[in-house]
Structure 1
Amino acid sequence: MGKLDGRVILITGAARGQGEQEARLFVEEGAEVVIGDILDDQGEALVKELGSRARYVRLDVGREADWAAAVAVAKEAYGKLDGLVNNAGILRFNTLVDTPLDEFMQVVQVNQIGCFLGIKAVAGELAAAGGGTIVNTASYTAVTGMAAVGSYAATKHAVLGLTRVAALELADQGIRVNAMCPGAIDTAMSNPALLDPTADAEGMAKAIDGLYRKLVPLGRIGRPEEVARLALFLSCEDSSYITGQPFVIDGGWLAGVSVI
């Protein structure tokens, strides 16, 4: 038996990277999965690979109408909705004083408003299904500061606030809400060169690996499948008495600095 047998879960930003690994693992564990993204070709290809227990829906998380459509797809395909993983997010590098307002608001629209709209869109369906789970993807930067990612850090702090409030407000409906706080994870977000066919992605990956060998006590960058396993834990009965909590998954980075 799988840990998610009989459950229907919507995962945003699931066409690639961390969300893709979550979708794969959740299907392996018995769930029916609705893959939401704006990367249509990649999303459709993933669904074709995963088979009848997966559906793709175009979902711009900053658009309320897209959320309504995604929930409708889940109900039409599988009859209900039991869970949500708010995975979609974007990152922009800039100092605060050099960040244009349009850039700041773009990050807010996806990371913060997207999370808010997701909670709002699914809460009623989860309650109707007898309860469920919401897993919000925050960040290492939600619990500390980091230069050059001010807009991202601000939105991820906001995701923790939304998580705690939603956990309080939805508990009596049997809905648990928690947040994951990944550190550096080996995806295109951490290494944009992976998306550029003209870039030296392998060389950049080696440079990033060398950096995190110095910064992270466990001596390496994280893998998206490791975050997927945390998402699974927070979406299944193994975490049945946990709600309103942030879970840092960062290889020990937040623990401090070693001078040895």
Structure 2
Amino acid sequence: MSSAVHARRAIVTGAGSGIGRAVVRRLLQEGVRVLAVDIDGEKLGEVAGGDCEPLVADLSEPAGRARVAEAADGADYLVNSHGVLVVKSIFDVTLDDWRRIHTINAESIFFLCQQIGPRLKPGGAVVNLSSSSAKLATTTEVAAYAASKTTILSITRSFAQALASRPVRVNAICPGIVDTPMQDMVLAGMARLRGMELSAMDEARNKTVPLGRPARPEECAGAIWFLLSDEAGYMTGQAVNFTGGLVTW
């Protein structure tokens, strides 16, 4: 591995758990120094150390985003993997639910791309985490979340155009069912709302996936690393499905 790769630096949001944590570990394996961002300082403490520097920040607030942007000068990569969801009947979603989800999932990613994208080194890359729910409407219990993830696809396309001349590439990844704490919450909420046993709900969801299983966070992190790397140097503005065949468009 070249010394140039060892000198690279990334900012990863939502780094305390799930896909974000797996991305931090993969980047460190690739010799990339990481600024790990999360609202949960305790979880960050579990990944920090060595070439991983923690930063506790509330990305729903402009001040929190500004702190991350201030630390971003000279970075090569930005991975926006933070997000929240609410599992509710579509008819019970409140205005507060909607605003919280869209502030954290969409507004924050727009302004992180706006503030950090121009600070990345030429040849750098951004990956935004969207979701298969941005393309499917089968899980109406997360409709507000799905809407925010669809917005992320538009944000990705716009910044891919705006940053192309730098050049900084901007892509999105659309994971399906991934074995993370967030997916556990979705599964439990869906089972409750649909009056199903948790095991039956899990089996039914996995049957919708042609490969018949959820992804591991490490697998998703590998795909994200590909999008960041020079191997994907001619890709920008794309939404890459990572769904085990569940979504093919």
Regarding TM over 0.5, the answer is yes
In structure 2, relative to structure 1, the CA distance for the partners of 1:246 and 1:11 (3 Å cut) is same
In structure 2, relative to structure 1, the CA distance for the partners of 1:36 and 1:213 (3 Å cut) is same
8 Å contact 2:77–2:124 — kept in the other structure? yes
Deviation at 1:211, TM superposition (A): 2.5
8 Å contact 2:65–2:108 — kept in the other structure? no
| Alpha-carbon separation, structure 1, partners of 2:34 and 2:13 | 10
Name the structure 2 match of 1:181. 174
8 Å contact 1:61–1:117 — kept in the other structure? no
How many residues are treated as equivalent by the alignment?
A: 239
In the alignment, does 2:146 pair up with 1:145?
no
| Alpha-carbon separation, structure 1, partners of 2:171 and 2:89 | 29
8 Å contact 1:164–1:177 — kept in the other structure? yes
Q: Tell me the alpha carbon deviations over residues 217-243 of structure 1, each in whole angstroms, 9 at most, x when there is no partner.
A: 101111111110111001110100000
In structure 2, relative to structure 1, the CA distance for the partners of 1:25 and 1:97 (3 Å cut) is same
| Alpha-carbon separation, structure 1, partners of 2:219 and 2:170 | 20
In the alignment, does 2:215 pair up with 1:217?
no
| Alpha-carbon separation, structure 1, partners of 2:72 and 2:45 | 15
In the alignment, does 2:57 pair up with 1:63?
no
| Alpha-carbon separation, structure 2, partners of 1:108 and 1:74 | 24
Deviation at 1:142, TM superposition (A): 1.1
Q: Which amino acid aligns with 1:105?
A: R
In the alignment, does 2:183 pair up with 1:190?
yes
Deviation at 1:131, TM superposition (A): 3.5
5+ long unaligned stretches in structure 1:
196-202
In the alignment, does 2:114 pair up with 1:116?
no
Ranges of 4+ aligned residues in structure 1 off by more than 4 Å: 206-209
Q: CA RMSD in A?
A: 2.2
| Alpha-carbon separation, structure 2, partners of 1:55 and 1:39 | 14
- The structure 1 residue matched to 2:231, chosen from 234, 238, 243, is 238
Name the structure 1 match of 2:125. 133
5+ long unaligned stretches in structure 2:
189-196
